[in-house]
Amino acid sequence: MSAPTPEALSFGAGLVSSRTPSSPLARSERLARSPFVRRGGQWWLVTGSGSILATDPTFTGQLDRFAAAMAAADQTIADLRSQQDDPPTPHPGRQR
């Protein structure tokens, strides 16, 4: 099995390869602004000169935890922005 090329891994967070748009395995997820990309459940270090599979379970576990923390932070920010966009709801019985 050959390693994916940097081009195959550089689709960015949440984008899908044009070769197989409906395949969930085609999804690549870049970790923040780092050179690490998760593809098919595996972490890869992607550079201009090639890619290396990360195999150390302690290290990949840390990458998983960081990715989960980033996703939770992104969701919190999205929720806060959504609340700011919603008009205030009137409170019956309250006088100002």
Most confident of 4-8, 72-76, 81-85, 89-93: 72-76
15-49 residue pLDDT tens: 223 233 333 444 688 998 899 999 999 999 999 99
The rounded percent of the chain whose pLDDT value lies above 70 is: 68
Q: Please give the Cα distance from 1 to 82 (Å, whole number).
A: 44
pTM beyond 0.85, yes or no:
no
Q: Please give the Cα distance from 61 to 63 (Å, whole number).
A: 5
Q: Which of these ranges, 39-43, 72-76, 83-87, has the smallest mean pLDDT? A: 83-87
